[in-house]
Protein backbone atom coordinates (compact mmCIF):
# COMPACT_ATOMS: atom_id res chain seq x y z
CA UNK A 1 0.00 0.00 0.00
CA UNK A 2 1.06 3.52 -0.65
CA UNK A 3 2.03 5.70 2.29
CA UNK A 4 1.77 9.44 2.63
CA UNK A 5 3.82 11.27 5.23
CA UNK A 6 3.28 14.76 6.59
CA UNK A 7 6.13 15.39 9.00
CA UNK A 8 4.86 18.72 10.34
CA UNK A 9 1.96 18.16 12.76
CA UNK A 10 1.67 21.92 13.36
CA UNK A 11 2.77 25.03 11.52
CA UNK A 12 2.17 28.72 12.04
CA UNK A 13 2.48 31.73 9.76
CA UNK A 14 2.08 35.44 10.12
CA UNK A 15 -0.81 36.93 8.21
CA UNK A 16 0.27 38.02 4.69
CA UNK A 17 3.39 35.86 4.83
CA UNK A 18 4.15 32.65 2.94
CA UNK A 19 4.19 29.16 4.39
CA UNK A 20 5.10 25.78 2.92
CA UNK A 21 3.59 22.51 4.09
CA UNK A 22 5.54 19.34 3.36
CA UNK A 23 4.34 15.99 2.06
CA UNK A 24 6.21 12.93 0.91
CA UNK A 25 4.81 9.68 -0.42
CA UNK A 26 5.97 6.22 -1.23
CA UNK A 27 4.83 4.41 -4.37
CA UNK A 28 6.12 2.16 -7.12
CA UNK A 29 3.55 3.45 -9.59
CA UNK A 30 4.38 5.89 -12.35
CA UNK A 31 0.95 7.44 -12.86
CA UNK A 32 -1.08 8.88 -10.02
CA UNK A 33 -2.77 11.97 -8.63
CA UNK A 34 -1.81 14.02 -5.61
CA UNK A 35 -4.10 16.32 -3.69
CA UNK A 36 -4.18 18.81 -0.87
CA UNK A 37 -7.37 19.06 1.15
CA UNK A 38 -8.24 21.72 3.69
CA UNK A 39 -10.35 21.01 6.75
CA UNK A 40 -11.45 24.12 8.67
CA UNK A 41 -13.11 23.90 12.10
CA UNK A 42 -16.44 23.31 10.32
CA UNK A 43 -15.08 19.81 9.57
CA UNK A 44 -15.86 20.07 5.87
CA UNK A 45 -13.15 18.63 3.61
CA UNK A 46 -12.35 21.07 0.81
CA UNK A 47 -10.18 20.31 -2.20
CA UNK A 48 -7.43 22.92 -2.45
CA UNK A 49 -5.33 21.73 -5.35
CA UNK A 50 -4.52 18.64 -7.37
CA UNK A 51 -1.51 17.49 -9.39
CA UNK A 52 -1.31 14.82 -12.07
CA UNK A 53 1.97 12.91 -11.90
CA UNK A 54 2.38 12.92 -15.69
CA UNK A 55 2.42 16.72 -15.74
CA UNK A 56 5.76 18.32 -15.05
CA UNK A 57 4.28 21.75 -14.51
CA UNK A 58 3.40 22.52 -10.91
CA UNK A 59 -0.27 23.18 -10.26
CA UNK A 60 -1.40 26.58 -9.02
CA UNK A 61 -4.73 27.84 -7.72
CA UNK A 62 -4.65 31.54 -6.88
CA UNK A 63 -2.56 31.85 -3.69
CA UNK A 64 -1.94 28.11 -3.51
CA UNK A 65 0.78 26.35 -5.44
CA UNK A 66 2.63 23.08 -5.21
CA UNK A 67 6.22 22.01 -5.63
CA UNK A 68 5.98 18.55 -7.16
CA UNK A 69 9.26 16.63 -7.24
CA UNK A 70 8.42 13.25 -8.76
CA UNK A 71 11.84 11.68 -8.39
CA UNK A 72 12.03 12.71 -4.76
CA UNK A 73 8.36 11.75 -4.20
CA UNK A 74 7.72 15.10 -2.65
CA UNK A 75 4.60 17.27 -2.94
CA UNK A 76 4.69 20.45 -0.88
CA UNK A 77 1.99 23.10 -0.68
CA UNK A 78 2.87 26.77 -0.66
CA UNK A 79 0.36 29.30 0.60
CA UNK A 80 1.19 32.87 -0.33
CA UNK A 81 -0.21 36.01 1.29
CA UNK A 82 -1.67 33.92 4.12
CA UNK A 83 -5.10 34.95 5.35
CA UNK A 84 -6.91 34.24 8.61
CA UNK A 85 -9.30 32.01 6.68
CA UNK A 86 -6.42 29.73 5.73
CA UNK A 87 -6.22 28.47 9.31
CA UNK A 88 -7.19 24.80 9.11
CA UNK A 89 -5.93 21.25 9.05
CA UNK A 90 -4.36 20.37 5.73
CA UNK A 91 -4.19 16.84 4.39
CA UNK A 92 -2.04 15.53 1.59
CA UNK A 93 -3.53 12.62 -0.36
CA UNK A 94 -2.49 10.15 -3.03
CA UNK A 95 -4.56 8.18 -5.54
CA UNK A 96 -3.57 5.82 -8.32
CA UNK A 97 -4.53 6.92 -11.82
CA UNK A 98 -6.99 5.09 -14.04
CA UNK A 99 -10.72 4.61 -14.11
CA UNK A 100 -10.95 2.30 -11.15
CA UNK A 101 -12.21 2.51 -7.62
CA UNK A 102 -8.74 3.04 -6.20
CA UNK A 103 -8.81 4.48 -2.77
CA UNK A 104 -7.16 7.65 -1.55
CA UNK A 105 -4.31 7.46 0.90
CA UNK A 106 -4.10 10.37 3.30
CA UNK A 107 -1.33 11.80 5.40
CA UNK A 108 -1.87 12.52 9.09
CA UNK A 109 -2.40 16.20 8.52
CA UNK A 110 -0.75 19.53 9.34
CA UNK A 111 -2.56 22.02 11.54
CA UNK A 112 -1.94 25.54 10.25
CA UNK A 113 -2.34 28.56 12.53
CA UNK A 114 -2.42 32.04 11.01
CA UNK A 115 -1.24 34.76 13.38
CA UNK A 116 -2.83 38.20 12.91
CA UNK B 1 -20.39 19.48 -7.15
CA UNK B 2 -22.70 16.56 -6.58
CA UNK B 3 -24.96 16.72 -3.57
CA UNK B 4 -23.85 14.40 -0.81
CA UNK B 5 -25.37 14.35 2.61
CA UNK B 6 -24.62 12.36 5.71
CA UNK B 7 -26.89 11.64 8.62
CA UNK B 8 -26.84 12.03 11.50
CA UNK B 9 -24.32 14.82 12.00
CA UNK B 10 -23.72 13.85 15.61
CA UNK B 11 -24.54 10.71 17.56
CA UNK B 12 -23.83 9.38 21.01
CA UNK B 13 -24.43 5.70 21.56
CA UNK B 14 -23.72 3.07 24.17
CA UNK B 15 -21.16 0.30 23.92
CA UNK B 16 -22.62 -2.83 22.39
CA UNK B 17 -25.43 -1.20 20.47
CA UNK B 18 -25.70 -1.31 16.67
CA UNK B 19 -25.39 2.00 14.83
CA UNK B 20 -26.10 2.85 11.20
CA UNK B 21 -24.78 5.92 9.44
CA UNK B 22 -26.28 7.02 6.15
CA UNK B 23 -24.74 8.61 3.10
CA UNK B 24 -26.98 9.91 0.35
CA UNK B 25 -25.98 11.33 -3.02
CA UNK B 26 -28.20 13.13 -5.49
CA UNK B 27 -26.09 12.34 -8.57
CA UNK B 28 -25.56 8.98 -10.19
CA UNK B 29 -22.02 8.40 -8.98
CA UNK B 30 -20.88 4.81 -9.09
CA UNK B 31 -18.17 4.90 -6.42
CA UNK B 32 -18.84 5.69 -2.78
CA UNK B 33 -16.52 5.44 0.20
CA UNK B 34 -16.59 5.45 3.98
CA UNK B 35 -13.60 6.82 5.89
CA UNK B 36 -12.92 7.42 9.54
CA UNK B 37 -10.81 10.32 10.78
CA UNK B 38 -8.77 10.04 13.96
CA UNK B 39 -6.04 12.31 15.36
CA UNK B 40 -2.62 11.13 14.28
CA UNK B 41 -4.05 8.83 11.62
CA UNK B 42 -5.58 11.11 9.04
CA UNK B 43 -8.41 9.48 7.11
CA UNK B 44 -8.51 5.73 6.72
CA UNK B 45 -10.73 3.73 4.40
CA UNK B 46 -13.33 1.49 6.03
CA UNK B 47 -15.32 0.17 3.04
CA UNK B 48 -16.15 1.29 -0.44
CA UNK B 49 -18.72 0.49 -3.09
CA UNK B 50 -18.39 0.35 -6.86
CA UNK B 51 -22.06 -0.24 -7.59
CA UNK B 52 -25.33 -1.49 -6.21
CA UNK B 53 -24.62 -4.50 -4.01
CA UNK B 54 -20.91 -4.30 -4.92
CA UNK B 55 -18.74 -3.47 -1.95
CA UNK B 56 -15.23 -4.17 -0.74
CA UNK B 57 -13.21 -3.77 2.43
CA UNK B 58 -10.73 -1.06 3.23
CA UNK B 59 -7.83 -1.09 5.67
CA UNK B 60 -9.91 -0.71 8.86
CA UNK B 61 -13.04 -2.75 8.10
CA UNK B 62 -13.18 -4.90 11.25
CA UNK B 63 -16.37 -4.25 13.20
CA UNK B 64 -18.08 -2.51 10.29
CA UNK B 65 -20.41 -3.61 7.54
CA UNK B 66 -21.91 -1.72 4.62
CA UNK B 67 -24.83 -2.02 2.28
CA UNK B 68 -25.78 -0.41 -0.99
CA UNK B 69 -29.22 -1.39 -2.21
CA UNK B 70 -29.68 1.79 -4.27
CA UNK B 71 -27.16 3.86 -6.20
CA UNK B 72 -27.87 6.91 -4.08
CA UNK B 73 -27.52 5.37 -0.61
CA UNK B 74 -24.50 3.84 1.10
CA UNK B 75 -25.00 2.70 4.68
CA UNK B 76 -22.31 2.03 7.25
CA UNK B 77 -23.23 -0.18 10.21
CA UNK B 78 -21.31 -0.69 13.40
CA UNK B 79 -22.57 -4.09 14.40
CA UNK B 80 -21.74 -3.70 18.10
CA UNK B 81 -20.25 -0.31 18.86
CA UNK B 82 -17.06 -0.11 20.89
CA UNK B 83 -15.23 2.87 22.38
CA UNK B 84 -12.47 2.44 19.77
CA UNK B 85 -15.04 3.34 17.12
CA UNK B 86 -15.48 6.80 18.53
CA UNK B 87 -14.44 8.88 15.54
CA UNK B 88 -15.53 11.22 12.81
CA UNK B 89 -16.91 9.36 9.81
CA UNK B 90 -16.84 10.73 6.30
CA UNK B 91 -18.60 9.57 3.22
CA UNK B 92 -17.11 10.46 -0.17
CA UNK B 93 -17.89 10.05 -3.82
CA UNK B 94 -15.57 10.13 -6.80
CA UNK B 95 -16.25 11.02 -10.40
CA UNK B 96 -14.65 8.88 -13.08
CA UNK B 97 -16.09 10.50 -16.16
CA UNK B 98 -12.73 11.54 -17.55
CA UNK B 99 -9.07 11.17 -16.80
CA UNK B 100 -8.73 14.71 -15.54
CA UNK B 101 -11.21 14.05 -12.83
CA UNK B 102 -10.36 12.10 -9.74
CA UNK B 103 -10.94 14.17 -6.64
CA UNK B 104 -13.28 13.25 -3.86
CA UNK B 105 -16.34 15.17 -2.81
CA UNK B 106 -16.91 14.65 0.89
CA UNK B 107 -19.99 14.73 3.03
CA UNK B 108 -19.98 16.93 6.10
CA UNK B 109 -19.07 14.07 8.42
CA UNK B 110 -20.69 12.33 11.37
CA UNK B 111 -19.17 12.66 14.82
CA UNK B 112 -19.87 9.40 16.64
CA UNK B 113 -19.20 8.98 20.33
CA UNK B 114 -19.44 5.55 21.92
CA UNK B 115 -19.80 5.69 25.71
DSSP chain B: ---EEEE-SEEEE-TT--EEEEEEESS--SEEEEEEEETTTEEEEEEEEEETTEEEE-TT-TTEEEEEEETTEEEEEESS--GGG-EEEEEEEE--SSTT---EEE---EEEEE-
Lowest mean pLDDT among A9-23, A32-46, A100-114, B11-25: A100-114
Picking from B48, B54, B87, B103 by the largest number of A CB atoms within 10 A of its own CB, the best residue to mutate is: B103
pLDDT tier for residue B99 given thresholds of 50, 70 and 90: very low
CA distance A84 to chain B (A): 22
Minimal Cβ distance to A50: which of B33, B94, B103: B103
Domain containing residue B15:
4-114
Across B11-23, average pLDDT: 97
Q: What is the CATH number of the domain that holds B8?
A: 2.60.40.10
Q: Which residues, 6 or more positions from B78, have their beta carbon under 8 angstroms from its beta carbon?
A: B18, B19, B20, B63, B64, B85, B112
pLDDT tier for residue B27 given thresholds of 50, 70 and 90: confident
Tell whether the model's pLDDT for residue A8 goes beyond 90: yes
CA distance B52 to chain A (A): 14
Q: Percentage of chain A with pLDDT > 70? A: 95
User: Which of A71-85, B2-16, B49-63, B88-102 holds the top average pLDDT?
Assistant: A71-85
Q: Which residues of B touch A50 (CB under 8 A)?
A: 102-103
pLDDT score, position B94: 78
Q: Domains in chain A, please, with CATH?
A: 3-115 (2.60.40.10)
How many domains does chain B fold into?
1
pLDDT tier for residue A40 given thresholds of 50, 70 and 90: very high
d(C-alpha B90, C-alpha B106), whole Å: 7
DSSP A34-93: EEEEEE-TT---EEEEEEETT--SPPEETTEEEEEETTTTEEEEEE-S--GGG-EEEEEE
CA distance A97 to chain B (A): 8
pLDDT score, position B45: 94
Amino acid sequence: AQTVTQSQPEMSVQEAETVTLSCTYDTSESDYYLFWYKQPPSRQMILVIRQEAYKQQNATENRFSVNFQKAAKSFSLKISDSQLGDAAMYFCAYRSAGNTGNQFYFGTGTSLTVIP
Amino acid sequence: DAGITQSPRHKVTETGTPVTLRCHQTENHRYMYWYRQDPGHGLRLIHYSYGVKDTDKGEVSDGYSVSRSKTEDFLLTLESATSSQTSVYFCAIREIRNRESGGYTFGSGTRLTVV
